[in-house]
Structure 1
């Protein structure tokens, strides 16, 4: 019973971790299914920052695809201020 429960939890965790990458948030360049075409060469990394829903700064990286569209590759959040 114990091993079955562990196997089920492991399988659910594995399924949850397999995904299509970060999801666009309101404020993202590709949010809501928007298609953005870039004038840059294929493989170029485009960085984008914006203020998130709860006041945090959102940092995103996109890569220009072969057809000129942007693909969201990474996303992180941080405070919108610096302590001095």
Structure 2
């Protein structure tokens, strides 16, 4: 019974975390609905890095949309001492 409950919980958690894609954090380029326009061509990948909560480094990847705005496509965190 424990294993079945754990499996259901894990499945629901996995669905909930992938439902909407990455969400902007404070200090993200698009946090709070900010509209950022890029001078780069559509399809260009833009990297952004900042120091997040608890001293973790946040690595974000944006893609320039056809109207020039940025769309957050990837977001990962890691210790501050790791540089990519």
Q: Provide TM-score, normalisation by structure 2.
A: 0.78
1:16 aligns to what SS in structure 2? helix
Q: Name the counterpart of 2:72.
A: 72
Q: Give the aligned partner of residue 21 of structure 1.
A: 21
Q: Which residue in the other structure is 2:60 paired with?
A: 60
Larger radius of gyration: 1
More helix by share: 2
TM-score by length of 1: 0.78
2-structure distance, mates of 1:52, 1:18? 21
Q: Structure 2 CA distance, aligned partners of 1:78 and 1:17? A: 18
Q: Distance in 1 between matches of 2:14 and 2:78?
A: 27
| RMSD, aligned CA | 2.2
The aligned length equals 78
Runs of 5+ consecutive residues of structure 2 not aligned to the other structure: none
